[in-house]
Amino acid sequence: MEPLDVLRQATFGRRTAEEEAEQLRRYFVETEQWSQVFNGEVDVVYGPKGSGKSAIYNLITQSADDLFDRHILLVPGENPQGTPAFKDIVDDPPYDEFQFVNVWKLYALTLCAHAIRDYGIQGKQVDSLFEKLEEAELIPAKWSLGRVLKYALDYVRSLTRPEAIETEMALDPMSGMPAGVKGKIVFREPSASQERRGVVSIDELYELTNETLEEAGYSLWIVLDRLDVAFANKVGLEASALRALFKFYLDTKRFKNISTKIFLRTDIWGEITKEGFREASHIERALNINWSQEDLMNLVVKRMVANESICNHYQFDSKSILADFDSQEKFLSMIFPDQVETGPNKPKTFGWILGRTKDALSSTAPRELIHFLSELRDVQINRLERGEKQLAHGRLFEQISFKDALPEVSKTRLEQTIFAEYPALRR
């Protein structure tokens, strides 16, 4: 085919994992970091914006059947797209971090119970678990994450401060709970009289859930992503909510059959810990996503050879290229010009791309690289359609197209990331 036809039939993907969820398996670079997450060796994944956290999260959710074959139940704790489950809580949040920890605990417990019922897991403790949750009106008739979260928040609020219940509030003589509170779940160990009346602690219900899963031979993962979107533009609330999340994580990680998987931006983690966070030293099962130049080249090649038109044009077999890194470098040299800016001290083309898309920490995020490739394709198609042909040596891209593609990438990064997240610094 002519280069114009090759490029018209090619695509290099979308900037965000949410936009290309269906195609992600074709493109994804399965690194050692991915393997650690998939194998359950990691609970917390840190990475800069655009580094691929959401790609891993989306692939994990797409791998629910594979995980089920390993007796792992996957439970998303946030909507992968659309309105975040935490949207309503932003406008009317818990009044302190202690309340927020308890909201997380109730929210996650309800998700666990729903998954146990949904997967048809039976056990002597299941009925008891549901009885307590339904009595507390924590399981909505019409299921949605946002509704589950709202019910959890309402219940926590109804107890006010659990440590003050005995002295500051009127108690129901039958249940030993605050008057008007439905349900018998508390966030500390119940007194002897409360226990006789059927009051249980949240930790006891987690023990019960963990035993149920263990008896059935299953583990359960609650996965959380898009936390930056959930609390956007609410810096104080975001820090409080996420500190509470990590306290919840540490409080519940002793339950071997229940795991919380958290995907969080590095800069947000920095904000959480900026003023001190003692619990941080106990978060051990974590990794930071890093991309070397070789990793990024592999990413580009993988997206190139996912296109049948490109492979047919050069008569290449995608599997043989991806199996050998030297072949990947040669492949790019056939498609790209040797240099964008000619000269003995100028970088090769791929080095030029990385140099122009890196941030102030000298790091290039996959998101910007993918965006650049898409803009490069569009610019080159436009040039070929106008008859501006300066292609040489069978390549698909001209030197000038690289420079013409860059401004749109820069503009998007500036307006949709930097201005959007730091409006006070816009001027």
Q: How far apart are CA 110 and CA 152, in angstroms?
A: 9
128 band by pLDDT with thresholds 50, 70 and 90: confident
Nearest to 363 by CA among 270, 291, 422: 291
Q: How far apart are CA 73 and CA 28, in angstroms?
A: 23
- Mean predicted confidence (pLDDT) in 181-199: 83
Q: What is the pLDDT of residue 170?
A: 52
pLDDT tens digits, one per residue of 20-70 = 555 656 666 667 888 899 999 999 999 988 888 888 888 898 899 999 999
- Mean predicted confidence (pLDDT) in 268-279: 83
The contacts found for 49-52 with CB under 8 angstroms, 24 or more apart, are 49/228, 49/265, 49/267, 49/365, 49/367, 49/417, 50/15, 50/365, 50/366, 50/367, 50/368, 51/289, 51/291, 51/365, 51/366, 51/367, 52/17, 52/289, 52/291, 52/366
Least confident of 15-24, 134-143, 236-245, 356-365: 15-24
Asked if pLDDT for residue 161 goes beyond 80, the answer is no
- Mean predicted confidence (pLDDT) in 94-110: 90
Neighbour tally for 248: CB within 10 Å: 20
Please state the pTM of the whole predicted model.
0.83
247 band by pLDDT with thresholds 50, 70 and 90: very high
Nearest to 284 by CA among 54, 75, 57, 41: 41
Asked if pLDDT for residue 255 goes beyond 60, the answer is yes
226 band by pLDDT with thresholds 50, 70 and 90: confident
Q: How far apart are CA 380 and CA 368, in angstroms?
A: 18
Neighbour tally for 324: CB within 10 Å: 11
391 band by pLDDT with thresholds 50, 70 and 90: confident
Q: How far apart are CA 16 and CA 55, in angstroms?
A: 8
Neighbour tally for 308: CB within 10 Å: 12
CB-CB contact of 94 with 100 (8 Å): yes
274 band by pLDDT with thresholds 50, 70 and 90: confident
pLDDT tens digits, one per residue of 61-91 = 889 999 999 999 999 998 877 777 887 777 7
pLDDT tens digits, one per residue of 280-308 = 888 989 999 888 899 999 999 999 999 99
Nearest to 109 by CA among 242, 217, 251, 269: 251
Rg (CA), the chain: 26
Q: What ranges make up the beta strands (E) of 55-163?
A: 72-76
pLDDT tens digits, one per residue of 318-348 = 899 999 999 999 999 999 999 999 999 999 9
Domains of the chain, residue spans: 3-16+291-425, 43-284
Asked if pLDDT for residue 163 goes beyond 50, the answer is no
- Mean predicted confidence (pLDDT) in 231-243: 79
Q: How far apart are CA 339 and CA 392, in angstroms?
A: 13
Q: What is the pLDDT of residue 168?
A: 43
